[in-house]
Amino acid sequence: MRPAGHFGSGGANGAGATPGGCPYCMSGKRAVWNPDKERPMAKISAGAIGLVVALALTGPVAAQGTPAQPDKRVEPRKTDKTVEALRKAYWTAVRSGDFYNKAARKADDEGVAGVASLMRAAAKVEAVHAANLAKALEEMEATKGKADEKAAPAVKATKENLATATELATAARETDLPAARKIAEGEGVREAARVFRDAREGEIELVRQFKDASELMDLWKKSKKDFFVGRTCGYLVEKLDLTKCPVCGKGRDDFEKVN
- As beta bridge partners, residue 255 has 230
The amino acid at 81: K
Residue 99 · residue 152 · CB < 8 Å: yes
CB 198 to Zn ion: min, Å: 7
DSSP, collapsed to helix, strand or coil, labels residue 257 as strand
Neighbours of 154 (CB within 10 A): 10
Report CA Rg, the chain: 28
100 near Zn ion, judged by CB under 5 A: no
CB 248 to Zn ion: min, Å: 3
CB 186 to Zn ion: min, Å: 25
- Pick 71 or 238: Cβ nearer Zn ion: 238
CA distances from 171 to 116, 165, 179, 207 (A): 22, 10, 11, 10
127 near Zn ion, judged by CB under 5 A: no
Residue 118 · residue 225 · CB < 8 Å: yes
Say how many Å lie between the first and final Cα of the chain, rounded: 59
Pick the binder of Zn ion from 112, 122, 247, 258 (CB under 5 A).
247
Rounded distance between C-alpha atoms, residue 255 and residue 83, angstroms: 29
Site string for Zn ion, 151-190 (x = CB under 5 A): ----------------------------------------
248 near Zn ion, judged by CB under 5 A: yes
User: Where does this chain touch Zn ion (CB under 5 A) — which range of 10-18, 37-45, 90-98, 226-234?
Assistant: 226-234
User: Where does this chain touch Zn ion (CB under 5 A) — which range of 59-67, 129-137, 161-169, 240-248?
Assistant: 240-248
User: Where does this chain touch Zn ion (CB under 5 A) — which range of 58-66, 161-169, 221-229, 245-253?
Assistant: 245-253
| Per rule CB under 5 A, count of chain residues that contact Zn ion | 7
Tallying the residues shown for the chain, one arrives at 259
User: Where does this chain touch Zn ion (CB under 5 A) — which range of 138-146, 169-177, 220-228, 239-247?
Assistant: 239-247
Pick the binder of Zn ion from 199, 235, 236, 237 (CB under 5 A).
235
245 near Zn ion, judged by CB under 5 A: yes
Pick the binder of Zn ion from 8, 60, 114, 230 (CB under 5 A).
230
- Pick 127 or 245: Cβ nearer Zn ion: 245
User: Where does this chain touch Zn ion (CB under 5 A) — which range of 151-159, 164-172, 185-193, 242-250?
Assistant: 242-250
Neighbours of 30 (CB within 10 A): 18
Among 63, 125, 138, 66, smallest CA distance to 92 is for: 125
Rounded distance between C-alpha atoms, residue 142 and residue 133, angstroms: 11
233 near Zn ion, judged by CB under 5 A: yes
Residue 194 · residue 247 · CB < 8 Å: no
Contact residues for Zn ion, defined by CB under 5 A: 230, 232-233, 235, 245, 247-248
